[in-house]
Structure 1
């Protein structure tokens, strides 16, 4: 079993041929899911590599709650732990959550700023295309855990 695990890790390590380079840009669209209260949302975002392995990733999510309206804006800093076709990263950042619990357009929108942290993975599936998965905890919404899955288009990859 030890040999199998070591062999798998060696194969995994040598399979990394693609790197995140300064100036690379990725665009993403997909879905978000709040695990505790079962809300679904749609998101869009961009990721810019300002240094090797470091990127800024602003994104906007529009949630579809049963009643009212809510949305979220995040500005995340990502650090990539691995390179290649399967890229793991950790993230931390600032977010702002807007919520209105009244039906329709009535009511007052409340703004909740705060931080977030988590981890994710980018899986390259074709030239310039990939899938991104992410799990993060957002402090501005009562430490709400969020699962994100998205389709990514990469420029300069």
Structure 2
């Protein structure tokens, strides 16, 4: 019940961000890699600049473990240190992790909440398109470091 309510509130909030006229909106997608356990995942997300140099960036990752399945939801607050073609930022946020270590869909789903923090860079290729790279630590899983690389599309 709590998970369902959280997801509904998340999508309502994310929809309101897109409804606002002010600020830049970016869509992003790419790959995640957990350095400690060598696990690969793919992510999709968005980013909304609500103030000068500050943005909120929700992302959703699907991990591909050897057995079972796992998902990760991040809600990050980013602060941009630089402007221009290469934009460096710091991030901190909330992370929720769902894991099922059984083969297939049956089994017991575990949920772990925690925080994450890290740094990243956005590299602008054109006015509408760019790339990101991030390195962050997620507290809910023995502080697993995650490397993220992806493409970014800026909505006009």
TM-score range for the pair, normalised by the shorter chain length:
0.7 to 0.9
Task: Output one character per residue of 1:111-146: Cα deviation in whole Å (capped at 9) or x when no partner.
Answer: 000000000000001121000000000001110000
Count of aligned pairs: 135
2:121 alignment partner in structure 1: 121
TM-score by length of 1: 0.84
Q: Which residues of 2 match residues 2-151 of structure 1 at below 5 A? A: 23-151=23-151
2:4 alignment partner in structure 1: none
In 1, Cα distance between the equivalents of 2:138 and 2:37? 13
- State the 4+ residue runs in structure 1 displaced beyond 6 angstroms: none
TM-score by length of 2: 0.85
Q: Does the residue aligned with 1:126 lie in a helix, a strand or coil?
A: coil
In 2, Cα distance between the equivalents of 1:48 and 1:26? 7
In 2, Cα distance between the equivalents of 1:92 and 1:127? 27
- Flag structure 2 segments of 5+ consecutive residues without an equivalent: 1-21
Task: Output one character per residue of 1:37-68: Cα deviation in whole Å (capped at 9) or x when no partner.
Answer: 00000000000000010000000000000001
In 1, Cα distance between the equivalents of 2:155 and 2:43? 19
Q: Does the residue aligned with 2:107 lie in a helix, a strand or coil?
A: coil
In 1, Cα distance between the equivalents of 2:97 and 2:142? 11
In 1, Cα distance between the equivalents of 2:28 and 2:155? 11
**Deviation at residue 106 of structure 1 after TM alignment:** 1.4
Structure with greater Cα Rg: 1
